Structure 1
Amino acid sequence: MKMVFRWFGNGNDSVSLKQIKQIPGVEGIVWALHDIPVGEVWSLKDIKLLKGQADDYGLNIDVVESVNVHEDIKLGLPTRDQYIENYKSTIKNLAQVGVKVICYNFMPVFDWTRTNLYQLLEDGSTALFYEKAKVENMDPLELVEKVANNNGYTMPGWEPERLKELKQLFTLYNEVTTEDLWENLRYFLEEIIPVAEENNIKMAIHPDDPPWPIFGLPRIITSRDNIYRFLQLVDSPFNGITLCSGSLGANAANDIPGMIREFADRIPFAHIRNVRRFENGDFIETSHRTTDGSINIYEIVRAYHESEFDGYARPDHGRHIWDESCRPGYGLYDRALGIMYLWGIWDTLQREK
Structure 2
Amino acid sequence: MEGLLDHLLREELTAIGGYDRAVSEFIRVTDQLLPKRVFTRIVPELLNGGLTQAGTPVRPQLLGSDPQCLAENAARLAELNPAGIDLNFGCPAKCVNRHRGGAVLLDEPELLAQIVAAVRRAVPAHIAVSAKMRLGNEEASRMLDCAQALAESGAAELVVHARTKRQGYKPPAHWHEIARIAEAVAVPVVTNGEIWTVQDALQARRESHCSALMLGRGAVADPSLALALRAHDLGLPALQARWAELPPALLSYWQRVRQVVAPKHQAGRVKQWLHYLRRCHPEAEALYMALRTLHEAPRFEAELHAALRCPAPELQTA
Residue 128 of structure 2, aligned match among 201, 210, 216: 201
Residue 68 of structure 1, aligned match among 44, 63, 66: 63
Q: Which has the higher helix share?
A: 2
- The C-alpha deviation readout for 1:95-148, integer Å capped at 9, x for no partner, is 2333343333446xxx326xxxxxxxxxxxxxxxxxxxxxxxxxxxxxx6xxxx
2: CA distance between counterparts of 1:67 and 1:198? 18
Instruction: Specify the alignment match of 2:73 in structure 1.
Output: 90
1:25 aligns with 2:18: yes
- The C-alpha deviation readout for 1:258-312, integer Å capped at 9, x for no partner, is 644664x5136x35443xxxxxxxxxxx623436x9x8135269x445xxx6xxx
Contact 2:113 2:153 survives alignment (8 Å):
no
Assess, with a 3 A threshold, how the Cα gap between structure 1 residues 260 and 91 changes in structure 2: closer, same or farther: same
Assess, with a 3 A threshold, how the Cα gap between structure 1 residues 186 and 52 changes in structure 2: closer, same or farther: closer
2: CA distance between counterparts of 1:250 and 1:43? 40
Residue 344 of structure 1, aligned match among 216, 231, 246: 231
**1:77-156 matched pairs, under 5 angstroms:** 83-106=66-89, 111-112=91-92
1: CA distance between counterparts of 2:232 and 2:183? 17
Contact 1:101 1:202 survives alignment (8 Å):
yes
1: CA distance between counterparts of 2:129 and 2:178? 21
Q: 2:217 corresponds to which letter in structure 1?
A: H
Instruction: Specify the alignment match of 1:124 in structure 2.
Output: none
- Return the TM-score normalized by structure 2: 0.52
**1:307-326 matched pairs, under 5 angstroms:** 313-318=213-218
Assess, with a 3 A threshold, how the Cα gap between structure 1 residues 187 and 287 changes in structure 2: closer, same or farther: closer
The SS at the match of 2:33 is coil
- The C-alpha deviation readout for 1:197-216, integer Å capped at 9, x for no partner, is 646322313224xx451xxx
Assess, with a 3 A threshold, how the Cα gap between structure 1 residues 59 and 47 changes in structure 2: closer, same or farther: farther
1:287 aligns with 2:196: yes
Residue 159 of structure 2, aligned match among 232, 242, 246: 242
2: CA distance between counterparts of 1:251 and 1:28? 22
- Superposed displacement of residue 195, structure 1: 2.4
1:41 aligns with 2:33: yes
Assess, with a 3 A threshold, how the Cα gap between structure 1 residues 245 and 253 changes in structure 2: closer, same or farther: closer
Contact 2:29 2:62 survives alignment (8 Å):
no
Q: Which has the higher strand share?
A: 1
Q: 1:339 corresponds to which letter in structure 2?
A: A
2: CA distance between counterparts of 1:86 and 1:243? 24
- Superposed displacement of residue 44, structure 1: 2.8
Instruction: Specify the alignment match of 1:137 in structure 2.
Output: none
Q: 1:52 corresponds to which letter in structure 2?
A: L
- The C-alpha deviation readout for 1:231-281, integer Å capped at 9, x for no partner, is 257725535421334669956584434644664x5136x35443xxxxxxx
1: CA distance between counterparts of 2:106 and 2:34? 31
The SS at the match of 1:206 is strand
Assess, with a 3 A threshold, how the Cα gap between structure 1 residues 242 and 32 changes in structure 2: closer, same or farther: same
Q: Whose Rg is larger?
A: 2
1:8 aligns with 2:6: yes
The SS at the match of 1:205 is strand
The SS at the match of 1:67 is strand
Matched residues, number: 221
Is there any run of 5+ residues in structure 1 with no aligned partner, and where? 1-5, 74-82, 114-143, 145-157, 214-218, 275-285, 319-329
Residue 191 of structure 1, aligned match among 101, 108, 118: 118
Contact 2:198 2:228 survives alignment (8 Å):
yes
